[in-house]
Every structure is written in C-alpha cells, then in structure tokens.
Amino acid sequence: VERLDNIPPDVLRQREAKWLDMLNSWDKWMAKKHKKVKLRCQKGIPPSLRGRAWLYLSGGKVKKEQNQGKFQELDSQPGDPKWLDVIEKDLHRQFPFHEMFVARGGHGQQDLFRVLKAYTLHRPEEGYCQAQAPIAAVLLMHMPAEDAFWGLVQICEKYLPGYYSAGLEAIQLDGEILFALLKRVSPVAHRHLKKYKIDPILYMTEWFMCAFSRTLPWVSVLRMWDMFFCEGVKIIFRVGLVLLKCMLGSQEKLKACQGQYETMELLRSIEPRYMQEAFLVQEVSPTHTPMSCTST
C-alpha cells in the first residue's frame, strides 16, 4: 500500500482531476459507481480536496443546504453557560502543536469554540462531550467552521449515534460487539482480556469516541477517516481489531502482561509499526485477509 506523501506530483494531479470530476457530479457517482468511490477512498483522498470530499461523503453538504442559515443562527446565540465553561477549558488541549490551535484565543480555537457551542444549541438534550473536541478540531483543519459544524453533526448523528450522550450506552454496546468480533479474529487476545476481566470500555472508549484521532499518527488518522466517511463505523471496528490482535494476539506478547494493569499499559503504548499508514490501510481494507501482524 502506497503512502500518500510518496506519490509523484503528476500522479497526485491525476488523482485530483479524478476526484474533481467525482465531486462535480457527486449524486451520479454515489448512485451508480459507489464501489469506485470506495476504492478511491481506500487509496486516499488527495489532501487538497479532502475537506470537500469528507463533507460530501458524510452527507454534511446536503444537511447544510437543507438548513441554510442554521449555523449562523446558532452561532449568534449566547449558548448555555454550563457548557461554555467546559468547552472553554478544553480548547487548548486539542492538537496544541498544530499551527491552527497553538495560539490561545487564536482563530483556530475561536472556530473550535463556535462549532462546539453551536452543537450544544443544536442538540441541547445532548450538550457537549469532551470527545467531540478532537473530532471538531480535525474537521476544522480541513474546512471552514460552518462545514465543520455539519461534519460534526453527521458524525454524532449518522456515524456514531448515541456515543456522545450522557449514559454512554451506545459505546458500551459497541464495546461488547468489538469483544465478540475479537473472539473470531484473535481467540488468544479475547481469552486474555476475559481472563483479567478487562472491560472493553476501558480500552476502546477513546479509540471509538475520538475516531482514533488521539491514538494514531496523523497520516494514519487521515487515511482512516477517508475510509470511515465512506464506509462508516465498521472502519473504526476494523482498526480496533487490528490493534488488539497485533498487541495481544500471541502467547509471546502476553508473557510480559500478566494482569489488568500491565495489559492496559500495553494498549496505551501501541507499537508504532502497527499504526503506520501503509500497514493499517492494508489491514483494514476488506479485500485483505487474514491479519498478518503476529508474524511481523
């Protein structure tokens, strides 16, 4: 699997031309050539068009068109003080080394505040959840505030529904599903987690709620999101299964972590080779079976 930053300029230009053609007749492509769209997302969306493509893939563009002026209306409202304080405290924690968010009170942080505040007004019964901040920040790196707001709406309502509401029932349910799938993918890892009574919510909450934006290297985050916006939450599941199998999938690896604490430490410091863009894209692509990390 090639890395996007290694693609020769002329090939990248060709890809950009193909994506522009798709984006300019989007409905036709989605209706008749969805398989081709999926393959192109797996190859990686050209960086110059990523923001636009994410908005189209997520349905955020349609939502925005159906609700013209909605973001401006929410943006002009003061918002609920109980959420504003919490959001304010979280702003400087999001990608503090990224040029967009490095300055306290800078444009990036201001836009992040606007997007998150608008969401609390859009869904007052849900309010704000800390895991929404990195999601909104990644979106803002690729698109203006209004588009990022609709991207966030789509992630919260269409891709990860119920993840950000108070009870965390949706994430617990998906944790159980992940654990059941792990039994098929890696019985060794499954047995180990069961033996030490390590509940999925302990290791997969940040992975799933932040769509791996706080776990993977940046280039891998972008490639996973390209596929996630096209194929949905199953991409998040696949990444989770790859990491669990690679870290806990052999007796050799488990010798070092006989206990809950040791296992959690291991899952907090995943080996860089398993998070590399080329490796992950290959493992997560549906045509690729079986997973090969135990032999590497």
**How much is the pLDDT for 296?**
38
**How much is the pLDDT for 295?**
43
Residues of the chain short of pLDDT 50, as ranges, are 295-296
Which tokens is 199 given?
């509940």
Name the architecture of domain 169-284. Orthogonal Bundle (1.10)
**How much is the pLDDT for 3?**
64
pTM over 0.85: yes
Domain locations in the chain? Answer: 1-43, 70-159, 169-284
Q: Fold identical between 70-159 and 169-284?
A: no
**How much is the pLDDT for 293?**
65
Q: Distance between terminal CA atoms of the chain?
A: 16
The rounded distance, in Å, linking the Cα atoms of 73 and 106 is 22
CA atoms within 13 A on the CB side of 112: 32
**263 contacts 257 by C-beta, under 8 angstroms:** yes
**How much is the pLDDT for 179?**
98
Which tokens is 270 given?
């995943």
Q: Selecting from 3.40.980.10, 1.20.1250.10, 1.10.8.270, 2.60.290.11, what CATH number does the domain 70-159 have?
A: 1.10.8.270
